[in-house]
Amino acid sequence: MRDTTVPSASFGARLRAALDARGPLCAGVDPHSALLAAWGLSDDVAGLERFAGTVVEALADRVAVLKPQSAFFERFGSRGIAVLERTIADARAAGALVILDAKRGDIGSTVEAYAQAYLDVSSPLFSDAVTASPYLGYDSLEPLYATAEKNGAGVFVLAFTSNPEGASVQRALIPDDPGGVTVGAAILAAAARRNAGAEVLGSIGAVIGATVTDIPFDLATLNGPLLAPGLGAQGATPDDLRVVFGGALRNVVPATARELLRHGPDVSALREAVARSIDECQVALGY
């Protein structure tokens, strides 16, 4: 039966405990068509279900975080969403925290509905945290923040992402700001204000690509988790984390998907690969 109990600790505190206990790694669950084919699976709901179940079986009892990419489930319609619901529930039951990679962003009643869908414990899609796009304005996501706080969950806002197209928005200067603050830095500053005073670790995190350099913000002041996608297939290595994150290394949640998942569908091979990745990230992040 799905657990609908509100966690007794904040997401930030639960994430800190998970990283310390299981090691600093977030494993992506990205069942795109090419990967299903590489696993010898059909590109349909049956293949999706087999893929997601194998990843949960192999990894959910040993990684701190699993991160399903919602789009790869949504493409199969309602039956794909049903698989996503089971994947989230089974991963959490095995002890992993789940960050749903949905990158939602909107205003008013729509973002309120997203909050109810992903961050309310009564929802079948409830996740420990969700990724969100703040580019309709940081405060447009207020229903996500409020619902997350009420339900012991978290939100990761996109700040400085590794895709080349992101820089034109994220590194643009705030109009009429005499300090020359970039949009991405303003988002991080707003998240830091939200996390101010949080003990252990705040619950409003940021997405910072592991391949990004020259971030115009002191990440140590965020007082929240830093989700760092890009290890492996996107070209980043664990050693790059020291360059990008500096004094905030202990708050980094390195994320990898394709580089890890290519070792499937063999469960033992997946477990060996994730153990190596955790060891490398522990060394790089000073655990």
Pairing of strands 97-104, 65-68: parallel
Burial class (CB in 10 A: 0-12, 13-18, 19+), 130: buried
Q: Which of 2, 22, 103, 262 is catalytic?
A: 103
d(CA 157, CA 136) in angstroms, rounded, equals 12
Contact 118, 125 (CB under 8 A): yes
Please indicate whether residue 67 is annotated as part of the active site: no
d(CA 36, CA 56) in angstroms, rounded, equals 15
Residues 6+ apart with CB under 8 A from 240: 210, 211
Contact 227, 205 (CB under 8 A): yes
Tokens of 38: 């590489």
Hey, which residues are catalytic here? 103
